[in-house]
Structures are given as C-alpha cells and as structure tokens.
Structure 1
C-alpha cells in the first residue's frame, strides 16, 4: 500500500503535552511545579489537551497542517513513555472526550493528528506487569514478558536483572511480542486509536521489536482501518529495511540533523562533503519514502539547535531553510519557532513561554514565510533533490528540487562574508541569464551567465523559482 499522498504536503508541529499549555487547572496534579520552572525528570507543569485547544488559533496562524503528540496515554511520568493504560487518556491531560474535541477541531481545520505509540515496553504500573509482581511465577501474564528468574525485583537502583527492560530501566519492562496474546493486545491498541480518528502513529524504538512479521501485521491492521494513516518509525540511522510495505511510510531522519550539525555548528565538513552526505541520504531510500521522512532539527530527545549552536540565530535560520527545502516533512518542535532554548533531556522539555515579549518574532516570521513558500510550490514538497554545485572556499552550495518543468533552486552562503552569486551559479545551474523569483524576499532577480553581479550576504540563503512556474497548480 503506497504512502498516503497528504504526507509529503505535511508540516508537522510536535507537542510535548505537559509543557505546551495548561488549559484546565482542575486536572493538575497536587505536586505541580510552576509553569516555566526548570524541567526535572519527574516533575509536572500542567500542560494538557485543553491547553492545545485553547491555543489552536496560534497553531493556525503559524500555518502548520499536522500535529505530532508525544505520548498522551495514562502514565506516571511527564514524558509518558511508561504507559500504564493504553486505552485511557492520562487524566492529567484530560479525558477521551477532550481528545475527541481536539480531533474534531483539528480535522475541521484540515490538520492531521499523529500519536506516539510505545509498543516495545510498558510502564511498571501496567496491569499485566503488576500481576506478575503480585503473583510472580504463578501469574497468568508471566509469558507477556522476558523473565529470567524469580522473584522479580522491579524497584531499587541499578538495571533490571530479573527481566528484560528497555535499556535495563526497571520501570520499562519489555513486552514479549512473540506471545500471540501480547500481539493481539498491542494490535487492538493500534486499531482502537485510529478508529477514534487519529491520523497515524509515530512508533517509539521500533527496532527494539526486531521482528518484521510484527510490524507487517501492525501496518496491515492500521491501514485496514484507514489507508490514509501515516506510519513513522523512530530509527536513528540510515536503514532502508524499515520502510516499505511491511514496515513504515517514513522514518525520523536524524542523520539529516547530524549532517546539519557537522557542517553549520561543528564545522567538520566542507561544502562538498556536506552536499555529498545529503545526496547519500536521498539515494538510500525510494523517493516516496524520502518524501515521508520526518526532518527534525530539535526534539524531546535532543538539545535544541539554538542552544547547540551557542545562540547563533543566523546559523539556525540557515539550517531551518534547508529543512524546508530538503525532501521530507519539516518537524517544528514546539517553541523552536519563537527561539526557545534547551539543553539535553530534560532541559529540552521546557514550558512554552506564552509572554509574547519573550519571543523571537523575527524567527517566527521567517518560519511562517517558509511554511507559506513550501505550501505554494509543489516542487518543494514532491520534487526530486539534486546537488548542483558546491564551492568549498566560499562555504557555499546550490541544491535543486524538480518536479517536471517546475524547479526550485536553493543557494546558501554559509561563510561570514558576502559573495557574488554569479560565482556560485555556474552554467550548469543557469546556462543563460533569466529572471527568477526570490521567494523569501518577494522580488524578481536576473541571474545566470551574462547577468550582472548580485551579492548574497554571509550566513544567508535564497530560494529561487523559475518566473514561469511561480504558482501552484
């Protein structure tokens, strides 16, 4: 079954639910931390589904058309990757009715909703594992897990010794997905939330369930409910095994982020090596899956790029420009659009500051512009990617996206000095002088062999569109 057509048109906004907005004080836990306080591993700050509903106009104004939520099911932690009830919205986030209201609001505005599914492991409070802890080897759920010996010791310091757990974390016991009962349960969960109206699943650590038959069945179940549902796998390396008819539509393209960091922040790549590495990423997968990969700059698992770059806004802006030009789905981690900072987990999960005077409005406007440009030109959503030229001594490069006669050209000057565009736009890019539309600055420019000089300041870029192909079909 092919990748849903809407996926390549998506611009995703990722929300860590406890930290986006608090819309209902009545569901706050008793030990809530103040909004905006320093994030801790265990503390809650009160974000919920009603908060997302209340701030929906903000999301609409930004221009995104899909939401990806970190886990929203009942759990004892703020990250909720230790699920205790897969069929229940965490009461600290709201109710199933709140979720349905959010879905209706999103779908009325043509916004898709993607949920985070944790099927490799559950929380220590999950009913089956609790039964094993209570009844030990006499439990009816012994074979739901990989148990080495009894008695099980699920609390205390150190890694789990008596049973398998994700990275040995005692509170995250690993499911035995070879057990038909476990499979049936997890597939029931997958089906249920798609039937409720969710538009897809982001699958947490799917490689930990190293079983092609499980994921093939998972895909079949989800697509049988809604063939337009999107399946996204959290795979951190280049691995084509995980896309296709028996796995996922796309992957979280962390290698793309890695290359941006190596070139723009660490300075460990030449322009030519950077272009070559990006080309290698696109060559690794069929085109329909390249277009379905998620392109993260920051996530709940990583430092925010602004912090990683030492607060270098210009470099972050260039990396964002490339994110919107490269094949795949731009992923905006909540708050990146206003210049939020954050170090390694849990600091990257700070509360969204709703005081507008704290926002980087210039970056937000830039991001809104990129969203509009991407929506306007289909070649930026569905076109093939090509390296055109790299000039190492100028730290500059030119890439293109083509879809039939429609073409867009990205020019980036990653040096700190002004350059003459004619030194970068070779005859291969523009054989002759012609008018082009500078989409970011909304102006016509004439470039190519025989045209006059045009300067591009340091740490800036352009998206150039053929004048005859400016409007979307």
Structure 2
C-alpha cells in the first residue's frame, strides 16, 4: 500500500458535521490500491479495564478520479465526540492509519494515537437555506430582458432588439418588463430569479455602482421593485440581488470626493490609493477591479466602508424582503468582512441565501461563517469540455466531477450554484456550435446534478451570443422566433427534478465506469424510493447499454416517453441522452 498517498484531516471536507447528530468522515487512497476500508472509532472516554472500547464499520467507496479513490462513512456518535482511525486492506497487507502514523493492529492503550473530532457543536454545523436545494434559478440581465415602461428609458435608448448589443448601448429593459413576463418564468418552472446589479450606475451592466441605496432610474422606482418582489413571491419565486462590494463605480460620490479634494478628502481611506494626486492614465494609481479605472477597489477593512456596506446588505433584505445576495468578485474581499456580512444578513433573514462568485477552490469561504455557496464553475468547465467542445471523454468528465464533489462537504454540494453560461460568457448554444441536441444533453446533465441549477435568460428559447457584449442580446419575445421545442424540453426536465426524488438533491449520484466508448457517460441517482439511470452519448453512432446495468431490477421506464424498455434494447441515440427509472 502506498502510505504516502493516504490523506485525511479531521476538518473541512474530510470530517464534518452533516447535521446536529451526524458526522461524515472521508479518506483518500491511491486509485486501485485498497480493497476495503473500515473506520475504527469510539468515544474517547469509554474504557473498560484499561482498554479503549472501539467499533469497526466498513466505509463505502464514494468515487474515483484519475489518481485517487475516495471512501466515506456516516456515523452518529452517542455523545457527539469521536476518536477514530482507518483499517485498510488489500490482498497483500492490512494497515491501520491514525493521526500518529501506521500500525499493524489498532492501538487501544491510548486514544492520542487517533484522529479527533472533539465535539459536534450545533453552532458549527454548516447550514444553508433548505429551500435552495429545490430551487431552479433564472438569471436576468435587467437591461435586456423586457421593456415594460418606455417612459423610464435612458436617453438614447434604442428600439427593442433593433441593433446588436454593445458595451454602451441601451434598450430600456426594466422591472415592469419582468413583472409582465413572470408567467413565462412560472410556466418554465423556475422558482428563483438572480438579477445582475439593479443599483444606480452609469453603464448598461451596472457593475459600476454610483449609489448602493438607489434603484437605477431606467429600471423603475423602489416602489416598482417592491411590486416586483411581491409579485415574484406570490408565484413562489425567490429573488436574489447582485452585490458589488469589491469595488464601486467611478462616479460613486466618495470616490468623486477623492478626485476633487485629493489627499484632503475625508474618503481617501475608503479606497486603496497608492499615491497622490490620483491619476487614471496610463494606468490608475489606485487598486481597481482588474485594471479598470472606472471600478476603484473599496477598502473593506476601513470601519466606515464596512459600516456603509453592511447597511446596504441589511437595507434591501429588511425593506424589500429579498431572499439572497450574489457577491461579485467575492474572493478579493477580506474574510472578516464576509463574516460580518453573513451575521448582518442572517440576523434579518436567517434563511437568506449568500452566494459568492469564486472560480477556484472555495473551501475557505464555505465553513459556515461566510457563504452558503459559490458559483460552481468547475462543473461548468467539465460539462462544456465534455458535451460542447469534445475535449474530454465521459470517463474524464466523471473523474473531474468526482474530484469536485469530494472537495466539499455533501451539505455544501447540495446548494452549489450550477450554471452553463452567464452574462460573462458566450451563450451555451453558441458554445455548442448551435448543436441543439448537445444543449439538451447539457441541460439534462445540469438539472440532474447535485446543487441548485441556473438558466441564463433566453437560453430556454434558443438564443445565441458570443462573449460580452454578444451574450447580452435583447430577450426574444416573438414566439415564432423562439425554439419552443427546446423550451418544452427544459420545462420537462425541471418537472422531472421536482417530481422525482432521485432526480435532484434527493438522489445520491454514483458514476458507472467500465468499457464504454469515449463519448459515453453513465451514472445512477438513487433515493430512498427510486433509482434513475442516466446515459449520455456524445458520439455520432447509437450505443446499446450493457444488460448488466439492469442487474437487480426487473423493469425500466423511459422517463421522457413513459415507455417500458427492455434491457436488451436500451439504445441511446447519437448526441442524445436516456433517463430510465429502474424498479
């Protein structure tokens, strides 16, 4: 056994409280190196005649990636404390792995050999809002969704859809337009809306905030926004706003005061200014988002800045009953600010959803004291690489996703924000070279995946678009120009997610590996009352599923058609997917 590859730590994603009574414990081993793993465990204070009393339970292999196997077990210690180690076996060796090293037999004369979970404190349990697990989001870029009131159009606004989107043009999208089209969203089946920024700003994207306490006039008034939130709630739709707390806009009044008064400004410490006088060209001499002079970075360690932004966080939840915040460029803001942000928001609305925009390993933000979730870009990348770009095989996709799922606790994965595209990327249909069959596969994959999925406005009716600004076209409301077939397929998938316990977060995902063709991906989703088999074929020829996949089941029903399928004739067409309910 390769001992140097074994890995465990009694914290984070390797040992954590899933709920108030249950611990999840994981172990990583070299791929294919171990035949079985048992957890050796006991209460540290349970001794009889000088011998520590232990139990031994077999762990389950929860997944494999390119290099490693992962094992997991769920235990409920009677007195909420645990000491533990691992017994590993293969055909040549038995090994006991503890915090202090390796042994042939489990030591029982001293618990200090072992890993320690000191106490399962209720306050330490990671708690994200329960409703998020059953939410399907819809992202709206307000300027381009619908123009419901031309009277509040910004100066120079163009007729709806009359020109290609640019970084500077406007078409008059507003809150009244959203209200008028809520039936479209309800019909699709979504129950959450994520709005990109709605606060007063100069640009069409509004990530350059001028006033965090004011609605941008082109979208309407605070009263209109209140009507929108109320209308959404009446339809069972949650509302999440985008908060840009890493940086302000150039025309944010405190920054304008710095430009006017330079070193004498009372706001000079609100920003990260390296020297005076402040200059913007050829490069700004103050910290910004990227090198964007119009987005000066806020100093969130400054008590006045912190107080101002936390008032913003509280105000929109308290006054308008919003349900969540999405936090832009979240990884560039200090951790202490986010801890205080969470405390502020949760004190007003305990079940508000706090979502960070982070593109990389996010465990430091997901320990229960900062965010409920992050945007799951590793899922996005792997899904597109497999089904849009043909860059990886189905087996390689499974390896990458297994690694992602093992990187976080299960209760974190259940609320991860999954997406295929957004206002920051080309649209998924464009990424897939307008192959609608592949797009249907991608939505089947995302909507059946652990987490909370998000659809970018217009994707459901087949809109295309290259990188910003191309991905920010005006929503197509002419049904004759919409892909209604795609709409109905996504609608049906959302219905599957709500009607079948195993389809969404109620099902445990397990990849099925074997001698499949490179373009094949198979996995099962299993809940207490049903098992679903998902099969994807990204190749140009049909494939027939192996009959062994149906062992232990006597019946298979095609979820799309309701037809019974014979194991000998379970065919997945080219560029298609098959969902079977097994019983």
Q: Same fold (TM over 0.5)?
A: yes
Q: How big is the shift at 1:150?
A: 1.3
Q: Is the 8 A contact 2:382 2:397 kept in 1?
A: yes
Pick closer, same or farther for the CA change 1:266–1:78 going to 2, 3 Å: same
Pick closer, same or farther for the CA change 1:302–1:390 going to 2, 3 Å: farther
Q: How does 1:170-319 map to 2 (within 5 A)?
A: 170-195=293-318, 196-209=320-333, 211-319=334-442
2:508 — aligned with what? 384
1:463 — aligned with what? 579
2:224 — aligned with what? 98
Unpaired runs of 5+ residues, structure 1, are 468-473
1:324 — aligned with what? 447
| 2:564 partner SS | strand
Structure 1 window deviating more from structure 2 (395-404 vs 337-346): it is 395-404
1:439 — aligned with what? 559
Which residue of the other structure, out of 126, 139, 142, is the alignment partner of 1:17? Answer: 142
Please state if 1:50 is matched with 2:50: no
Q: Is the 8 A contact 2:146 2:178 kept in 1?
A: yes
2:127 — aligned with what? 2
Q: Is the 8 A contact 2:310 2:341 kept in 1?
A: yes
Q: Which has the higher strand share?
A: 2
- How far apart are the structure 1 equivalents of 2:576 and 2:514? 15
| 1:393 partner SS | coil
Q: Is the 8 A contact 1:200 1:229 kept in 2?
A: yes
Which residue of the other structure, out of 156, 178, 184, is the alignment partner of 1:31? Answer: 156
Q: How big is the shift at 1:321?
A: 0.8
1:149 — aligned with what? 275
C-alpha distance after superposition, 1:277-311 (max 9, x if no partner)? 11111111111111111111110000111112211
Runs of 4+ in 1 over 6 A off after TM superposition: none
- How far apart are the structure 2 equivalents of 1:437 and 1:75? 52
Structure 1 window deviating more from structure 2 (391-400 vs 140-149): it is 391-400
Which residue of the other structure, out of 537, 543, 550, is the alignment partner of 1:413? Answer: 537
Could you say which structure has the larger radius of gyration? 2
Higher relative contact order (CA 8 A, sep 6+): 1
Q: Is the 8 A contact 2:395 2:518 kept in 1?
A: no
Which residue of the other structure, out of 120, 127, 130, is the alignment partner of 2:256? Answer: 130
Q: How big is the shift at 1:394?
A: 5.5
Q: How does 1:323-362 map to 2 (within 5 A)?
A: 323-362=446-485
| 2:364 partner SS | helix
1:471 — aligned with what? none
- How far apart are the structure 2 equivalents of 1:378 and 1:147? 53
2:570 — aligned with what? 454
How many residue pairs get aligned? The number is 455
Q: Is the 8 A contact 2:366 2:412 kept in 1?
A: yes
| 1:319 partner SS | helix
- How far apart are the structure 2 equivalents of 1:158 and 1:32? 31
- How far apart are the structure 2 equivalents of 1:390 and 1:32? 57
- How far apart are the structure 2 equivalents of 1:158 and 1:365? 51
| 2:187 partner SS | helix
- How far apart are the structure 1 equivalents of 2:577 and 2:389? 19
C-alpha distance after superposition, 1:45-72 (max 9, x if no partner)? 1100000001111111111000000000
| 2:489 partner SS | helix
Normalised by the size of structure 2, how large is the TM-score?
0.76
Q: Which has the higher helix share?
A: 1
- How far apart are the structure 1 equivalents of 2:576 and 2:230? 40
Pick closer, same or farther for the CA change 1:436–1:215 going to 2, 3 Å: same
Q: Is the 8 A contact 2:386 2:397 kept in 1?
A: yes
Unpaired runs of 5+ residues, structure 2, are 1-125
Q: How big is the shift at 1:275?
A: 1.0
Pick closer, same or farther for the CA change 1:92–1:183 going to 2, 3 Å: same
Q: How big is the shift at 1:459?
A: 1.2
Normalised by the size of structure 1, how large is the TM-score?
0.93
- How far apart are the structure 2 equivalents of 1:391 and 1:458? 18
Q: Is the 8 A contact 1:20 1:47 kept in 2?
A: yes
1:393 — aligned with what? 517
- How far apart are the structure 1 equivalents of 2:268 and 2:174? 35
Instruction: Let me know the Cα RMSD of the aligned residues.
Output: 1.4
Q: How big is the shift at 1:465?
A: 2.2
Q: How big is the shift at 1:82?
A: 0.4
